């Protein structure tokens, strides 16, 4: 199977994962169990990764103790990012949440320049500005959408959690880029996703311990297992596509079209059709910014 087919398949699968998460987090009865749901799904995600890792390569167990603090940090940052991502989708619909989720790209550029000394070029700066315009437009639409409603501040909470999610994922990516200079991808995934699982479970236990009772709820667990499984397959397909293409920029560019796929699927499956045209426009502006950022 060609890398182009793999990355398109990955884009569709991660979109379905987002839809399944939104289907859970938008339920009022589950509003106080979002972090616990993330913790439960993180277990499914890690088990899926372990099952699929042999298709990527072998794990290197030697001398990992030298980089253990960085692996733990990567896992905990990923846990924080995912937890905040779940919270975003509990306040905003899948389209708005996904658009705000692109903030991580801007933070990644900034932290890569500060921590790794990577040069911030004019193209990245222009792309970041265009991306932020798309995000701001999406945020404005979300604010208007919730104006006058009982949850009129949902857009603000969504923004706050999106900013923290973006900060955490950016720091995690910078950390992972450093680690990839000392170990292969499967080894990094084995440890980082493992610590991510532990961090996610801990967050759920600290703030929403009663939420773990949902493990007895078959309908909730079906959706959560589905979301975690989609995430596992998506992550592995993305890595295989990267290896096959040997072109990180091009794979990254194609993957960004998940924004449009998620908005369309949310409209079809979740009936989240309000301001559909405006959401698609905001997504297209954000995608343009991301394409400029990633294209080299």
CA 236 vs CA 6, 52, 184: distances in Å? 10, 7, 14
Average the pLDDT over each of 16-30, 78-92, 116-130, 245-259 and give the range with the smallest value.
245-259
Answer for the pair 92, 256: CB distance below 8 angstroms, yes or no.
no
- CA dist 83 and 218 (Å) reads 22
Per residue in 163-200, pLDDT tens?
A: 999 999 999 999 999 998 999 999 999 999 999 999 99
What is the four-CA torsion angle of 39, 46, 13, 170, rounded to 10 degrees? 70
Taking 90 as the threshold, does the pLDDT of residue 60 lie above it?
A: no
Instruction: Give the pTM.
Output: 0.93
> What does the mean pLDDT of the chain come to?
92
Taking 90 as the threshold, does the pLDDT of residue 158 lie above it?
A: yes
Taking 80 as the threshold, does the pLDDT of residue 246 lie above it?
A: no
Taking 80 as the threshold, does the pLDDT of residue 247 lie above it?
A: no
Average the pLDDT over each of 8-17, 90-99, 246-255 and give the range with the smallest value.
246-255
Mean pLDDT calculated for residue range 91-103: 95
Mean pLDDT calculated for residue range 275-284: 96
Taking 90 as the threshold, does the pLDDT of residue 84 lie above it?
A: yes
- CA dist 278 and 95 (Å) reads 10
DSSP secondary structure of 109-172: HHHHHHHS-----HHHHHHHHHHHHHHHHHHHHHHHHHTTSTTTTHHHHHHHHHHHHHHHHHHH
pLDDT the model gives residue 89? 97
pLDDT the model gives residue 145? 81
2: pLDDT confidence band, cut at 50, 70 and 90? confident
Q: Which long-range contacts (CB under 8 A, 24 or more apart) does 215-219 make?
A: 215/40
Rounded to the nearest 5°, which phi and psi values hold at 27?
-75, 125
Per residue in 18-56, pLDDT tens?
A: 999 999 999 999 999 999 999 999 999 999 999 999 988
Query: Longest Cα pair distance anywhere in the chain, in angstroms?
Result: 58
248: pLDDT confidence band, cut at 50, 70 and 90? low
Per residue in 131-149, pLDDT tens?
A: 999 999 999 999 988 777 7
Answer for the pair 237, 9: CB distance below 8 angstroms, yes or no.
yes
pLDDT the model gives residue 73? 98
Q: Which residue has the higher pLDDT, 57 or 88?
A: 88
The distance of Cα 105 from the centroid of its chain, to the nearest Å, equals 11
- Report which of 80, 69, 93, 115 is spatially closest to residue 207, judged by C-alpha positions: 80
- pLDDT more than 70, % of the chain: 98
Place of tokens 């993180």: 42
Mean pLDDT calculated for residue range 84-111: 95
Mean pLDDT calculated for residue range 82-103: 96
Place of tokens 């343009």: 288
């Amino acid at each position: 199977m060609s890398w182009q087919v793999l990355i398109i398949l990955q884009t569709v699968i991660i979109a379905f994962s987002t839809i399944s998460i939104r289907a859970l987090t938008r339920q009022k009865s589950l509003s106080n169990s979002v972090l616990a749901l993330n913790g439960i799904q993180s277990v499914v995600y890690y088990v899926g990764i372990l099952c699929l890792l042999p298709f990527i390569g072998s794990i290197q167990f030697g001398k990992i103790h030298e980089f253990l603090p960085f692996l733990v940090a990567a896992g905990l940052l990923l846990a924080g990012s995912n937890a905040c991502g779940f919270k975003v989708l509990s306040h905003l619909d899948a389209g708005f949440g996904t658009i705000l989720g692109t903030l991580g790209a801007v933070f990644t550029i900034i932290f890569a320049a500060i921590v790794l000394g990577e040069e911030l070029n004019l193209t990245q700066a222009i792309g970041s500005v265009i991306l932020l315009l798309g995000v701001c437009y999406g945020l404005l639409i979300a604010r208007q959408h919730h104006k006058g409603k009982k949850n009129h501040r949902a857009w603000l909470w969504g923004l706050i959690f999106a900013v923290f999610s973006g900060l955490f994922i950016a720091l995690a990516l910078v950390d992972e880029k450093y680690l990839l200079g000392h170990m292969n991808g499967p080894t990094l995934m084995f440890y980082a996703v493992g610590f991510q699982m532990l961090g996610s479970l801990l967050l759920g236990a600290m703030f929403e311990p009663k939420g773990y009772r949902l493990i007895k709820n078959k309908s909730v667990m079906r959706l959560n297992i589905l979301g975690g499984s989609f995430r596992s397959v998506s992550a592995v397909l993305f890595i295989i596509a990267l290896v096959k293409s040997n072109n990180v920029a091009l794979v990254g560019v194609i993957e960004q079209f998940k924004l449009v796929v998620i908005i369309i699927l949310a409209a079809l499956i979740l009936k989240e059709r309000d301001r559909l045209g405006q959401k698609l426009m905001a997504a297209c502006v954000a995608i343009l910014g991301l394409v400029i950022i990633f294209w080299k």
